[in-house]
Structure 1
Amino acid sequence: MSLMSGRSRDARRLLAALGAVAAVTLVYGRWLHVSNPATVSTTYLLVVLLVATRSRFWIAAVTSLAAMLCFNYFFLPPVGTLTIADPPNWVALLVFLAVSLVASNLSAVARARTTEAVSRRDELARLFDLSRDVLLMTESREAMAMLARAIARRFDLAHVAIAMPPPPEWTFFEGGSASVTLDRQEIADAFSAAGKTLEFDAHARTYAGHRTTVSPDGTAVRLVPLRVGTKPVGVLAASGRPVEAGTLDALAGVVAIAIERAHLLEERTAAELTRHSEQLKSALLASLAHDLRTPLTAIRIAASNVGGSWLSDGERAEQGEIILAEVERLTRLFQNVIEMARIDAGAVSTDARWTYPSEIVAAARDQVEQSLRRHRLDVHTQDDVAVRVDPRLVAAALAQILQNASQYTPPGTTVRLEAGVADGALTVRVRDHGPGLMPG
């Protein structure tokens, strides 16, 4: 479609140029009756220059030939024939043709260079905009797909694919309006060759590693290696409008930097997660050490008191209950440690099933029965609605909350527990009379 429109535009410009030559001929020959060859030739030359500044060189050349023929036929003696009687007129005619052709060529070259400069300016602006897009990228893999779409949009390409090598396999992030099937073997070959060739040959001004291939669906695809330094990190595949090799190579450099930046962001995120994990482990170990000392101290004191002769039978039974409660607390503590180790190793699997809130509350209360013996537990549950959860894990979490309530709430006070279902999720509220958390 663009080829036909270009031909139509050239045809219109050629007709306009020939019409201008005809107009000059009619005005000077039929109306003003100008017979000075210098005036006529200068006017024809002006027409040729104007045509050259707006049209292709071949249109200006055809206009030059037409002007020369009109100049010879209508203004050089003998008028009305293509014969030239005076030899100096041959020189004038040839000089006119030569000057018009040279001027047309110079104008065409200047126009081509102007067009090239504008094109390069546009390419630089697109590269700048793309670099800004890269700086706004996140570390998610979706950012690579967004980058491919941005390249296709900014450079007006029908299809763009960023191919990243294994492991585990080739990954493609695509953008553009067209759907192109890429040959994975061609991509692999281009990637393999990228590590064996120089990036740029300054003498021949060629970019090694660039290649053009035809996809299985018949589309011409430019393959450009993505390098970070001398290390290949992927392949850029582009199809659509022609793009200069230098622009493609600069574009590939920006994409390679984007890939490296995404990797660095992923490594930074992983390092932050590791650091937070280590901090959490340190805090858990400190808490575990404290939680172990408390029941062990209570068991040691109660055990020493049980053997004392000064205790009554009731007081000795109370010391035995203390020992049982603390042993229960230690057992639950070790169970929690084992669960935490399994979670850290990724070995915990949930067993979700339909359960009533009252069943979960009963299981949690049985686990901390000894710890709650000095408190009144006020339970309110919603029994007519079931919820899909893992009852074992939820009961263990609720037991830990009740354990904390019994530990930090004064003896004889009430611990209120409410359990129900809201919007398909289990909701639990525990209220006690403890000091609460410290501010901050």
Structure 2
Amino acid sequence: MDRPAAPTSTPPPSPTPRLLSAQRPPARFGLAVAVLGVAGCTLAVAALRGLTPAASLSVLYILPVLLVATSWGLVLALATAIGSALAFNLFFLPPTGRLTVADDRNVAALGTFMVVAFVTSRVADLARARAAEAEARRQEADLAAELARGLLAGGDPGDLLRTASRRVAEALAVPAVTLERGEVPAGADGRREAFPLRDSERTVATLLLPAGLDPALRTRLVAHVLPSLEALLAAALERDALQAEVVETQALRRSDVVKTAILRAVSHDLRSPLTGILTAGTALGSASLGPEDREALAAGVVADAERLSHVVDNLLDLSRLEAGTAAPRTDWCAIDEVLHTAAEQAGGDVRFALDADLPLVRADPAQLERAFTNLIANADVHGAGRPVSVRARVVGARLVVRIVDRGPGIPAADQARIFEPFFRGGPRDPARPAGSGLGLAIVRGFVEANGGEVGVESLPGQGSSFVVTFPVAPVPQDTARRPA
């Protein structure tokens, strides 16, 4: 299971020795260093024996022994120590030129040198082993930290698994490492070995490596790498499960909110016109009604039916917008024609102030007409009986349309939520029916679907101005403007 995340650049491999390999330099290099070191110390003792006794200079031979022990281990260091003792005996202990020792004190000195060389070699070899082990532990910790960042940061599970596989392959210096989710068999061909990664009672993933691993590498893998990888994968899977539950819970909560809002809208906005239609329909069946009363009741039925149809249309539009199925059928359209058509559909007293030669916009004319019809109707309802002003002009690289009313304005606390579905802010006017709270949500949905933006500017007592903007794009020369 592997956020690009985000996601992320892959750091280069560490220049230090790879994890679990701890390979020493080739033995031939160690042998060359031992020979050159013994020869160099022999020359140094020969140059300095005129200043101090040669026996006291034997300590110089410890240097190549330490160097070889640190890099190539105890065996080659002991060979270097023996070579050093033979060279010192051959060239500096009487009788020189022969591998015999005449003085017992020189025998004791050679023995002491060999003991010191052995102890020194052993200590250097142990220090090297401890350093190699510490480096291995450090790289194991780096591997665990890097995997933790990748696995716990989130993202696509497949990408996370591939990233973890690559990190393990780099750390182990082993090719063809695969990390797959769930339990995966190693295969009948025997080319791969499967290491299941378990979380309590289940196998969360399987690490597949080439068969025939080095025993030391396998031991370290099982003892140090797999436990941390198991814990990280289990935590990552648990995190994904919790995130899925959170998303599902949020979706259910939002669904409950929408359902409650829809039920509220149905109860208030659908029941009221239905009641009026039923009442008027029942009264129309009375034989005692005069022509004038019958005509008034029929007009009431039509008005309630139109109101009911408007609410149903809004619900259908909002449903399409929420489901993402209201894709616009874009074409080059004249915004002034759209505004005039919307004003005719909305009714009311509308005053236009449109600049001449407004550019065409690429949008769905039907959706824009629907959006501007809702805006103009909303301004007419809240305009306190005053005319609605519709203005359009080009400002910079955008076409700006303003729908202005002279009503009571919108409180600042409501302006941030006024485009939310089913939100009804501001004071209630008992003389007019309350809206469904869908019109402005549909306006925002259709405007944004066509590449525009919508906002509101309002001060209490000074009216409201709904501002709709569209980007101005170059119009092809063969696109003709439709006649007004």
| TM-score bracket, shorter-length normalisation | 0.5 to 0.7
Aligned to 1:55, which of 65, 71, 84? 71
| Matching residue of 1:331 | 309
Q: Superposed, which structure 2 residues align to 1:206-355 within 5 Å? A: 227-234=198-205, 245=221, 246-249=223-226, 250-251=228-229, 253-296=231-274, 321-343=299-321, 347-355=325-333
Distance 1:26 1:121 in 2: 45
Q: How far off is 1:325 after superposition?
A: 3.3
**Which moves more between the two structures, 388-397 or 108-117?**
388-397
For residues 332 and 171 of structure 2, what CA distance do their matches in structure 1 show?
52
Residue 268 of structure 1 deviates from its aligned partner by 1.8
Q: Deviations over 1:201-231 (max 9, x none)?
A: xxxxxxxxxx986xxxxxxxx9865554453
Quote the Cα distance in structure 2 between the aligned partners of 1:190 and 1:150: 15
Kept in 2, the 8 Å contact 1:52–1:108? The answer is: no
Deviations 1:326-360 (A, max 9, x none): 32221121222234444555554442333222443
CA distance in 1, matches of 2:275, 2:383: 20
User: 1:401: which partner in 2?
Assistant: 375
Identity of aligned residues (%): 27
Give the equivalent residue in structure 1 for 2:402.
429
CA distance in 2, matches of 1:295, 1:73: 121
In the alignment, residue 141 of structure 2 is paired with which amino acid? Answer: L
Q: Does 1:110 align with 2:127?
A: yes
TM-aligned CA distance change 1:144 to 1:365, over 3 Å:
same
CA contact 2:86–2:99 (8 Å) conserved in 1: yes
Aligned to 1:200: none
C-alpha offsets along residues 178-203 of structure 1, whole Å, 9 cap, x if unaligned? xx9x79xx766995138x9xxxxxxx
Per the TM alignment, residue 69 of structure 1 is displaced from its structure 2 partner at its CA by 0.7
RCO higher in 1 or 2 (8 Å CA, sep ≥ 6)?
2
**1:114-150: per-residue Cα shift (whole Å, max 9, x none)?**
2312431353255346546666x2x543x98589769
CA contact (8 A) 2:91 2:97 kept: yes
Contact 2:34 2:64 in 1 (8 A): no
Alignment partner of 1:123 out of 120, 124, 140? 140
Question: Which residues of structure 1 form unaligned runs of 5+?
Answer: 161-179, 197-210, 214-221
SS of equivalent to 1:429: strand
Q: How far apart, in 2, do the equivalents of 1:189 and 1:125 lie? A: 23
Q: Which residue of 1 aligns with 2:386?
A: 413
Change (3 A) 1:292 1:439: farther
Instruction: Note closer, same or farther for the CA distance 1:376–1:191 as it changes in structure 2 (3 Å cut).
Output: same
| SS of residue in 2 equivalent to 1:193 | coil
Give the equivalent residue in structure 2 for 1:192: 184
Provide closer, same or farther for how the CA distance between residues 417 and 283 of structure 1 changes in structure 2, counting only shifts above 3 A: farther
Contact 1:25–1:74, Cα closer than 8 Å, also in 2: no
The CA deviation string for residues 346-402 of structure 1, in whole angstroms up to 9 with x for no partner, is 55444233322244335544544xxx3xx3122455674322223333333333334
Match of 1:21 among 35, 38, 41: 41
CA separation of 1:67/1:146 partners in 2, compared to 1, >3 Å: closer, same or farther? same
Which residue of the partner structure matches residue 446 of structure 2?
none
Aligned-pair CA distance for 1:304: 8.7
Q: Structure 1's 106 and 2: CA in aligned 2 closer, same or farther, altered over 3 A?
A: closer
What is the TM-score normalised by the length of structure 1?
0.63
| 1:420/1:426 contact within 8 Å kept | yes
Q: 1:81 offset after TM fit, Å?
A: 0.6
Q: Encode CA deviations 1:389-436: one digit per residue, 9 max, x unaligned.
A: 2333333333333443344443x3212234577788775432223444
Select the residue among 45, 54, 68 that pairs with 2:85.
Answer: 68
- Residue number in structure 1 paired with 2:350: 377
Are 2:366 and 1:392 equivalent residues in the alignment?
yes
Q: In structure 2, what is the equivalent of residue 32 of structure 1?
A: 52
For residues 58-103 of structure 1, give each alpha carbon's deviation from its aligned partner in whole angstroms, at most 9, with x where no partner exists: 5523421221212332355533212456899878756754653454
Aligned length: 377
The answer to whether the 8 Å contact 1:84/1:90 transfers is yes
Distance 1:188 1:149 in 2: 11
Aligned equivalents of 2:100, 2:201: Cα separation in 1 = 70
Offset of residue 253 of structure 1: 3.8
Structure 2 residue identity aligned to 1:71: F
Cα shift readout 1:222-278 (whole Å, capped 9, x = no counterpart) = 986555445344466899xx9952554224642553354244324423432332232
Q: Hey, which bits of structure 1, 4+ residues long, moved more than 6 A?
A: 85-92, 146-153, 186-190, 236-239, 300-312, 315-319, 420-426
d(CA) in 2 for partners of 1:429 and 1:304?
45
After alignment, is 415-424 or 285-294 more displaced?
415-424
SS at match of 2:339: helix
Q: Is the 8 A contact 2:199 2:230 kept in 1?
A: no
For the residue of structure 1 that corresponds to 2:262, the secondary structure is helix
- CA 1:321 to 1:189, structure 2 compared with 1: closer, same or farther past 3 Å? closer
> Is the CA contact 1:152–1:159 (under 8 Å) kept in the aligned structure 2?
no
User: CA, structure 1 residues 254+106, in 2 after alignment: closer, same or farther (shift >3 Å)?
Assistant: same
Instruction: Please tell me the residue identity of whatever aligns with 1:283.
Output: A
Report the CA distance shift for 1:321/1:409 in structure 2 as closer, same or farther (over 3 A).
farther
The alpha-carbon distance between structure 1 residues 191 and 388, as it changes in their structure 2 partners (threshold 3 A), is farther
Q: Is the 8 A contact 1:190 1:223 kept in 2?
A: no
**By how many angstroms is 1:104 displaced?**
1.1
2:133 counterpart letter in structure 1: E
Question: For residues 358 and 330 of structure 1, do their structure 2 counterparts lie closer, same or farther at Cα, with a shift above 3 Å needed?
Answer: farther
Question: TM-score scaled to structure 2, two decimals?
Answer: 0.58
Q: 1:326 to 1:148 in 2, by over 3 A?
A: same
Q: Distance in 2 between matches of 1:336 and 1:421?
A: 30
* Matched letter for residue 379 of structure 2: A
